[in-house]
Amino acid sequence: MLRKRLFLEHNFDKLKFYSTIVALFILISAHCQEKSSTDLIKSEFEKFPMAIRTDLNFKKAYAFFLENEYDSTLVYSHHFIVSHGSNDKYSNYCHFFRAMSFRKKQLFSQSRKEFEMLPKSFPLYINAKMEMGTIALELGNYSKALGYFLDAKGFPQEDQRNFKKSIIYHNIGLCYLHLEKFDESEKYLLESLSLQEKEGDTMLLIGSYMDIANLYYEQYKDDLAIPFFERAYTLSKKTKNFELKQNAALNMAVVEENRKDYLKSIAYRKEYEIWNDSINDQNKILAVAELETKFISEKKQKEIEILEKDNSIKKAQLNSFIYSSVLLSLLAVLLFYFYRSKRKVNKIILAQKVTLDALNDTKDRLFSIVSHDLRSNVNAIDKNNSKLSESFETKEYDEIGPQIEQGNALTNSTKAMLDNMLNWALLQTEQMYFQQEDLSLRSIVNHVTHNYEPLLSSKNIALKIDIPPSMFVYADSESLKIVFRNVIDNAIKFSDAGDQISIYTNVQSDSHCQLIIEDTGSGMSNDVITDLLGQSKVGSKKINKERTGLGLHLCQSMMLKNEGGLDIESEENVGTKLIFSIPLTKVYE
Amino acid sequence: MNKINILIIEDLKSESEPLVDLLTKNGFNVVAVAENFKDAIKVFYEEPIDLLIIDVFLSGVPDGITFAETISTVPGSLKPFIFLTSSKDRKIFDRAKLTSPFSFLMKPFNELEVLYAIEMALEKFYDQGMALTGETKNAVINDDHVFVKKNKSLKKISIADILYVEVEQRYCNIYTDSDRYVVLISLVKIAAMFEEHSFIRTHRNYLVNSKMIEEIILNEDTIILKGKHSVPLSDNYKKLTKQFNLLS
The C-alpha atoms of residue A345 and residue A361 are separated, in whole angstroms, by: 24
The helix or strand, by DSSP H or E, that contains position B198, with its residue range, turns out to be none
Cβ within 8 Å of B, A 485-514: none
Please enumerate, as own/partner, the contacts of A176-181 that have beta carbons within 8 Å and a separation of 24 or more: A176/A146, A177/A211, A177/A214, A177/A215, A177/A218, A178/A22, A178/A140, A178/A142, A179/A142, A179/A143, A179/A146, A180/A218
Q: Which residues pair with B173 in a beta bridge?
A: B166, B182
Question: Closest partner residue to B135 among A433, A450, A469, by Cβ?
Answer: A469
CB A484 within 8 A of CB A445: yes
Contact B106 A478 (CB under 8 A): yes
Q: What is the pLDDT confidence band of residue A578, given thresholds at 50, 70 and 90? A: very high
Q: Pick A365 or A441 by higher pLDDT.
A: A441
Cα A499 from chain centroid (whole Å): 89
pLDDT of residue B21: 94
What pLDDT digit, counting tens, does each position of A66-109 carry?
Answer: 887 788 888 888 888 887 777 777 778 888 888 888 877 778 88
pLDDT of residue A325: 95
The C-alpha atoms of residue B23 and residue A546 are separated, in whole angstroms, by: 38
Helices and strands (H, E) in chain B, number of each type: 6, 16
Q: What is the DSSP letter of B3?
A: P
pLDDT of residue A538: 47
Q: Pick A223 or A516 by higher pLDDT.
A: A516
Q: What is the DSSP letter of A372?
A: I
Nearest 5°: the CA angle A330, A334, A335 is 115
pLDDT of residue A10: 39
Q: Does the pLDDT of residue B161 top 70, yes or no?
A: yes
Contact A440 B130 (CB under 8 A): yes
Residue A405: name the closest of A379, A387, A421 by CA: A387
C-alpha dihedral sign at A65, A70, A74, A76:
negative
User: Before A49, cis peptide (omega within 30)?
Assistant: no
| Percentage of chain A modeled with pLDDT above 90 | 22
Nearest CA in chain B to A431: B90
A450 in contact with B, Cβ within 8 Å: yes
The C-alpha atoms of residue A207 and residue A165 are separated, in whole angstroms, by: 15
| Percentage of chain B modeled with pLDDT above 70 | 93
Q: How many CB pairs under 8 A join A and B?
A: 48
Contact A431 B90 (CB under 8 A): yes
What pLDDT digit, counting tens, does each position of A485-512 carry?
Answer: 999 988 998 888 899 999 999 887 888 9
Cβ within 8 Å of A, B 100-119: 106, 110-113, 116
Range in A196-210, A399-413, A421-435, A520-534 the model is least confident about: A196-210
CB B106 within 8 A of CB B15: no
Q: What is the pLDDT confidence band of residue A9, given thresholds at 50, 70 and 90? A: very low
Contact A432 B90 (CB under 8 A): yes
Distance of residue B183 Cα from the nearest chain A Cα, in angstroms? 16
Q: What is the pLDDT confidence band of residue B54, given thresholds at 50, 70 and 90? A: very high
C-alpha dihedral sign at A24, A25, A31, A37:
negative
Distance of residue B235 Cα from the nearest chain A Cα, in angstroms? 37
Contact B89 A469 (CB under 8 A): no
Cβ neighbours of A429 in B, within 8 Å: none
Cα A153 from chain centroid (whole Å): 66
Cβ within 8 Å of B, A 410-429: 423, 426
The C-alpha atoms of residue A545 and residue A436 are separated, in whole angstroms, by: 35
Nearest CA in chain A to B95: A433
Distance of residue B61 Cα from the nearest chain A Cα, in angstroms? 19
CB A95 within 8 A of CB A114: yes
pLDDT of residue A546: 46
Cβ within 8 Å of A, B 116-175: 116, 130, 133-136
Q: Pick A163 or A488 by higher pLDDT.
A: A488
β-sheet with B29-34: strand ranges across: B29-34, B5-9, B51-55, B81-85, B104-106
CB A539 within 8 A of CB A365: yes
Contact B130 A472 (CB under 8 A): yes
In single-letter form, the type of residue at position B23 comes to: L
Where on the phi/psi map is residue A395: left (φ > 0), alpha (ψ -120 to 50), or beta?
Answer: left
pLDDT of residue A314: 94
- What is the average pLDDT score of chain B? 85
Q: Does the pLDDT of residue A26 top 60, yes or no?
A: no
Distance of residue A446 Cα from the nearest chain B Cα, in angstroms? 8
* Burial (Cβ within 10 Å: 0-12, 13-18, ≥19) of residue B150: middle
Q: Does the pLDDT of residue A23 top 50, yes or no?
A: no
Q: Average the pLDDT over A384-403 and give the result.
A: 87
- What is the average pLDDT score of chain A? 80
Q: Average the pLDDT over A343-362 and give the result.
A: 90
Q: Does the pLDDT of residue A242 top 80, yes or no?
A: no
Contact A426 B111 (CB under 8 A): no
pLDDT of residue A164: 67
Q: Cα torsion for A271, A272, A274, A276, to the nearest 10°?
A: 170
Distance of residue A555 Cα from the nearest chain B Cα, in angstroms? 17
The C-alpha atoms of residue A134 and residue B230 are separated, in whole angstroms, by: 142
* Cα R_g (chain B), whole angstroms: 21
Q: What is the pLDDT confidence band of residue A333, given thresholds at 50, 70 and 90? A: very high
Q: Average the pLDDT over A222-234 and give the result.
A: 78
Cβ neighbours of B62 in A, within 8 Å: none
Distance of residue B232 Cα from the nearest chain A Cα, in angstroms? 34
Asked whether the ipTM of the predicted complex exceeds the cut of 0.85, the reply is no
The C-alpha atoms of residue A219 and residue A225 are separated, in whole angstroms, by: 9
Contact A469 B91 (CB under 8 A): no
Q: Does the pLDDT of residue A383 top 70, yes or no?
A: yes
Nearest CA in chain B to A434: B90
Cα A253 from chain centroid (whole Å): 79
Q: Is the pTM above the cut of 0.95?
A: no
Q: Which residues pair with B34 in a beta bridge?
A: B9
Question: Which residues does A583 contact at the CB level (< 8 Å), separation at least 6?
Answer: A473, A474, A475, A511, A512, A562, A563, A564
Q: Are strands B180-184 and B199-203 parallel, antiparallel or unpaired?
A: unpaired
Q: Average the pLDDT over B229-240 and give the result.
A: 82
Contact A478 B88 (CB under 8 A): yes
B88 in contact with A, Cβ within 8 Å: yes
Cβ neighbours of B110 in A, within 8 Å: 447, 450-451
pLDDT of residue A89: 73
Distances (CA, A) of A515 to A100, A268, A273, A487, A503: 117, 146, 139, 12, 7
Cβ neighbours of B133 in A, within 8 Å: 440, 443
Distance of residue A447 Cα from the nearest chain B Cα, in angstroms? 6
The C-alpha atoms of residue A487 and residue A501 are separated, in whole angstroms, by: 11
Number of other residues whose CB lies within 10 A of the CB of residue A59: 15
pLDDT of residue A347: 95
Question: Closest partner residue to B88 among A432, A443, A450, by Cβ?
Answer: A432
Number of other residues whose CB lies within 10 A of the CB of residue A552: 24
Nearest CA in chain A to B133: A440
Cβ neighbours of A481 in B, within 8 Å: 106
Cβ within 8 Å of B, A 180-209: none
Q: Does the pLDDT of residue A541 top 50, yes or no?
A: no
Nearest CA in chain B to A453: B110
Question: Which residues does A144 contact at the CB level (< 8 Å), separation at least 6?
Answer: A136
Instruction: State residue A17 phi and psi, 5-degree precision.
Output: -70, -30
Please enumerate, as own/partner, the contacts of A231-234 that have beta carbons within 8 Å and a separation of 24 or more: A232/A206
Instruction: State residue B173 phi and psi, 5-degree precision.
Output: -100, 125
The C-alpha atoms of residue A330 and residue A338 are separated, in whole angstroms, by: 12
Residue A6: name the closest of A227, A265, A266, A260 by CA: A260
Number of other residues whose CB lies within 10 A of the CB of residue B16: 20
Q: Average the pLDDT over B68-97 and give the result.
A: 85
The C-alpha atoms of residue B137 and residue A97 are separated, in whole angstroms, by: 114
Contact A433 B88 (CB under 8 A): yes
Number of other residues whose CB lies within 10 A of the CB of residue A269: 18
Q: Pick A478 or B100 by higher pLDDT.
A: A478
Residue A22: name the closest of A191, A247, A246, A225 by CA: A247
Range in A49-58, B7-16, B168-177 the model is least confident about: A49-58
A430 in contact with B, Cβ within 8 Å: yes
Contact A446 B110 (CB under 8 A): no
Q: Which residues pair with A237 in a beta bridge?
A: none
